[in-house]
Structure 1
Amino acid sequence: MPAYITVNTTAEAVCFLLSLACLYKDKEPAWRLFIFFLLTTVIVEMGGIYVRDQMQLPNYMIYNVFLLIECLVQYYFFYFLYKTYHDTKKLLIGWLIAFALFYFAELISKHFGAYVSVSSTVMSVGLILASVYFYYLLLREKRSRQLAAYAPFWWVNGTICFYFAGIACNLFFRYLVQDQTPGVGHSARYIVFSMLNVLLYLNWSYAFICRYRQRISSSSSD
């Protein structure tokens, strides 16, 4: 059991519990979707550890499949955020089709025998651009917002930090995954991604709390 308690699984589990507590009564399906997404994330992480440590098998296919779920959820949420400003449904569908073609082409080229690191990088670039565009729309708003309590702002903050730094890890994937850090027993890539995971889930957790406070405030004012 101790093998399943890591920095990643702890951060994911805490964020999942916060999403469950803060979002289960939320009226917006896009926010509630994170309850199921984070639960899936925890299950995938546990499954990856089980396959790697208990079955002594490569676990890359688990994360290859999860990458599709991750892409769908993240881009759907950006679509939800953009709806406040204008409709981007056609752009979303076009991007998802393009990503799916690229993803399956890479899977086939690797004979389903490795992690689709290039597709992960492509997805990350798209999410970074989507985050930057959200900031642009936010800056153009005439409405004044208190960013310290604005849930989408903190969700996007966590997303852009995680995927921007994640690109660097994917670009140096082979180098980072080989070397073991003295006294730790994990590759440099594992350590970097653990730190990024904590940063991501801290921002997302705070976004969920902000969303909960907004809902409570709206309910009490009605």
Structure 2
Amino acid sequence: MILNNLKIFVTVNTASEFLCFLAALIFLYREKSVAWKLFIPFLLLTCCTELAGIYIREFMAVSNYGIYNVYVLFECGFTSYFFFYLYKSYHYKIKWLYIWVAIFMVMYVTDLLYHDFSRFVSTTASVMSVVFVLASLYFYFLKLKDEHFEPLTFSAPFWWVSGTLFFYFGSTACNNFLDYLALYERITFSRSIRYVIFNILDIILYIFWSYAFICRYRQRKSSPLLG
């Protein structure tokens, strides 16, 4: 009985999140940069949120929208801050970060009130995904203009942004075609196409992020003053 209950918590999402958290813990533990080191608590929060969401859904038999609505705040805050950290070397002004966060909070509160706090803030999450896709593309644009050569194979920011772009672009496309995917709700192993797509996106995201942590570790070892 206990073993069966534990199996409920072991999914593609939870496994990939936990492995990425371990990678962050191993490779970023001695990191000097606050932005990079924040991945450790953020990924721990991600793991805890996923496990709590499963527990609420499976054992309490109630909606788990609430916990994911709270998590979206941390997801937006951390990801936005990390993009700003990557942009800083290109003289990016912090006022744009403040403006985006203010717009996000207005959408978030409006979304909650519109649905009487009873549903996931899907509209806000969709807009956030589009913004992060554009932010990723903007990073590529800055890289192309950058005269400083950096081999992308071992570039931690490049791999983090690439994973982020894949995930948010894929999730945006999936959400936009949600009605179409609903026509083919059940496929192999009684899982929806949307469920399978998001599992694939999760795997890509966390593999890319884990490799970014390894690259960051290599950079820090080769340059002890890196911060």
**Fold match, TM over 0.5?**
yes
Structure 1: distance between partners of 2:29 and 2:39: 10
What does residue 209 of structure 1 align with? 214
Larger CA deviation: 166-175 vs 134-143: 166-175
Pair 82,219 (structure 1): closer, same or farther in 2 beyond 3 Å: same
Q: Which amino acid aligns with 2:142?
A: L
Larger CA deviation: 163-172 vs 138-147: 163-172
Structure 2: distance between partners of 1:25 and 1:17: 14
Structure 2: distance between partners of 1:119 and 1:178: 25
Q: Which runs of 5+ in 1 are unaligned?
A: none
Correspondence 1:29 to 2:34: yes
Larger CA deviation: 10-19 vs 182-191: 182-191
What does residue 3 of structure 2 align with? none
Contact 2:159 2:208 in 1 (8 A): yes
Residue of 144, 150, 155 corresponding to 2:155: 150
Q: Which amino acid aligns with 2:112?
A: L
Quote the RMSD (CA, aligned, Å).
1.6
Q: Any residues of structure 2 matched to 1:100-111 within 5 Å, and which?
A: 100-111=105-116
Count of residue pairs the alignment pairs up: 221
User: What do residues 15-67 of structure 1 show as CA deviations (whole Å, max 9, x unaligned)?
Assistant: 00000000011100000000011000000000010011111111111111111
Q: Any residues of structure 2 matched to 1:34-183 within 5 Å, and which?
A: 34-173=39-178, 176=181, 180-183=185-188
Contact 2:167 2:204 in 1 (8 A): yes
How far apart are 1:178 and its partner, in Å?
7.8
Q: Which amino acid aligns with 1:69?
A: F
Q: Any residues of structure 2 matched to 1:187-202 within 5 Å, and which?
A: 187-202=192-207
Structure 1: distance between partners of 2:136 and 2:188: 37
Contact 1:178 1:187 in 2 (8 A): no
Structure 2: distance between partners of 1:3 and 1:194: 16
> What SS is found at the alignment partner of 1:204?
helix
> What SS is found at the alignment partner of 1:57?
coil
How far apart are 1:177 and its partner, in Å?
6.0
Where in structure 1 do 4 or more consecutive aligned residues deviate above 2 Å? 172-183
User: What do residues 89-116 of structure 1 show as CA deviations (whole Å, max 9, x unaligned)?
Assistant: 1000000000100111011001111111
TM-score, structure 1 length as denominator?
Answer: 0.95
Pair 180,25 (structure 1): closer, same or farther in 2 beyond 3 Å: same
Structure 2: distance between partners of 1:173 and 1:53: 24
Structure 2: distance between partners of 1:174 and 1:218: 50
Q: Which amino acid aligns with 1:152?
A: P
How far apart are 1:172 and its partner, in Å?
3.1
